[in-house]
Structure 1
Amino acid sequence: MSVMIWSDGHLRDEREPVVTAVDHGLTVGNGVFETCAVVDGKAFALTRHLRRLERSATGLGLGAPDQDAVRAGVDAVLAAGGDSLGRVRITVTAGPGPLGSNRAAPGTARQTVLVLAGPAVRPETARVARVPWVRNERSAVAGLKTTSYAENVVALGYAAERGGDEAIFANTVGELCEGTGSNVFVERRGELVTPALTSGCLAGITRELALEWARAAGLPAREAVRGELPFTVLDEVPAGDAHLALSSSVRNVVPVVGIDGVDVVAGPLSLELQRLFQARIGDDLDP
């Protein structure tokens, strides 16, 4: 299936140029994006994703995107793509700019806004690998969903070579942080605990909903307190003393069944959170 593309108010062909070669999103990665799952022909949790898109854009120094235009683009690609779509990606860049990292002079550039939709496979489980690189929780872009993804490409390749479909990072002070495109939940001592945002992890929409829905259902799930989840907590998983789950917009919530090439058992609370999330999705497509 081809990818549906919307730009500047119109659907575009895959072979049609939609950005200039001097777009700052291409030259230096000066852009932000969001990915939504498609459920029953709708972009799931779109309002929350658009709020985060705006937070990321303003955090990067871009102006707030035109949300009405973005919603129009989402509607257009979903209508064009039909029932086989699985994900929508919204990308906003600074638009044309200098070849270096300096921004264009205020008022001289127009943002590039792209909305794409295509297929997606939603796995039931995940396999992960720990990587030797770290997230910088004090980075200028910590917590922002930017298009600068080269670090993730390298880490994901490292994980794939070791039988993983996701890579797991520590941060600079040795705390468990996140995956390349997912948040992590550690199941131990009768509860699910996810790294706090102070670890430098992204404020995932699925993570946010999972915590909210778990609390409402009486499922023990919460953010970690400082020092509670060192990266070494992952040693407990192959030993059978803890379990892992991942959350992300395309995966939803999935238990981890392999780490660093070692098969592990899915945790009962991880499986319960997966079931709860799947059940709640149908209640409201824009919670």
Structure 2
Amino acid sequence: MGVVIWSNGRLHGPEDLLLSGIDHGLTVGDGVFETCAVYDGTAFALTRHLRRLRRSALGIGLGEPDEDAVREGVAAVLAAAGPDTGRLRITLTGGPGPLGSYRFAPEDQRQSLLVLAGPGARSEVSRVVRVPWVRNERSAVAGLKTTSYAENVVAVAEAYRQGADEALLANTVGELCEGTASNVFVERGGELVTPPLSSGCLAGITRELLLEWSAEAGLPVREAAAGELRYEVLDEVTGGTAHLTMSGSIRNVSPVASLDGSDVVVGPLSMQAQRLFQARLADDLDP
């Protein structure tokens, strides 16, 4: 079976028509979402993802998600999905709304909720490129996981055009920020350091867990100080004096083996972090 969809208490196939043509998530991208990896029929870190879904929804002014309904949908699609299922997606939009950007008040919204399960494969390493576009760390939706993903679509399309699988973005003040669908860690000076949330990056669940688990295990993994990681640090990676690792819900912890089309050395601490994450993941699927 391919993609399984749940909406309004029922399962649907990928060809079923589920959203109104005036759904605000469709007309203006007024929605939020979460993506979880699936292992042995279980969505990984679902509780943390639902916590972030709520934070994103409230952050853009949507009404609070119905967590019971979300969990019902998750259980339904995972029960119906095939053994190759590796990805779960939860999408919440403002529902039918005006054709313009103005939205109905939360109490007047009829939210659309869709839960999908389908294939998802991870790679042991990542291949990344620099792109000329930036994240706006002062955006109204900075740090929120919204369905307004056009910037990411453009950037990752450029990455794929260059034979990579992810694009690296600076922010408006020249700091290293994140990938289009992942957080970034820089290994140098015996530490693995990730940009702070003030850079405008998403508070990734994998990022969060790696910071927590590394602290417990005594690995030197930390959040950078503001301004510590300039975008030019990537020149150190191509020069061989630093290394990169990407983190995300599907890729988990994935050391970078190629930057801008050139092979780069995978760092030893990055490999330790990858092994630690995989080991802790196996111990608890909802940490």
Q: Same fold (TM over 0.5)?
A: yes
Matched, 1:85 2:78: no
Counterparts of 2:75 and 2:61 in 1: how far apart (Å)? 27
Counterparts of 1:179 and 1:265 in 2: how far apart (Å)? 19
Gaps of 5+ in 2: none
Residue 157 of structure 1, CA deviation: 1.1
2:53 aligned partner: 53
Amino acid at match of 1:157: A
2:186 aligned partner: 186
1:281 aligned partner: 281
Matched, 1:205 2:205: yes
Equivalent residues in 2 for 1:57-72 (5 A)?
Answer: 57-72=57-72
Higher mean alpha-carbon deviation, 65-74 vs 78-87, is at 78-87
1:70-124 residue CA offsets vs partner (Å, 9 max, x unmatched): 0010000000003221010000000000111011255333000000000011101
Counterparts of 2:31 and 2:106 in 1: how far apart (Å)? 16
Counterparts of 2:210 and 2:139 in 1: how far apart (Å)? 26
2:258 aligned partner: 258
Higher mean alpha-carbon deviation, 162-171 vs 175-184, is at 162-171
Cα contact 2:135–2:200 (8 A) shared by 1: yes
2:224 aligned partner: 224
Gaps of 5+ in 1: none
1:270 aligned partner: 270
Amino acid at match of 1:90: I
| Distance 1:90-1:60 versus aligned 2 partners, 3 A rule | same
Identity rate of aligned residues, in percent? Answer: 70
2:152 aligned partner: 152
Amino acid at match of 1:112: S
Query: Which secondary structure does the structure 2 equivalent of 1:113 belong to?
Result: strand
Counterparts of 1:13 and 1:189 in 2: how far apart (Å)? 50
Higher mean alpha-carbon deviation, 203-212 vs 80-89, is at 80-89
Matched, 1:35 2:66: no
Q: How many pairs align?
A: 287
1:170-226 residue CA offsets vs partner (Å, 9 max, x unmatched): 000000000000000000000000000000000000000000011111110000012
Amino acid at match of 2:277: F
Give the TM-score, by structure 2 length. Answer: 0.99
2:233 aligned partner: 233
Counterparts of 1:173 and 1:129 in 2: how far apart (Å)? 19
Residue 13 of structure 1, CA deviation: 2.2
Matched, 1:3 2:3: yes
Cα contact 1:163–1:260 (8 A) shared by 2: no
What is the Cα-based RMSD across aligned positions, in Å? 0.8
Query: Which secondary structure does the structure 2 equivalent of 1:210 belong to?
Result: helix
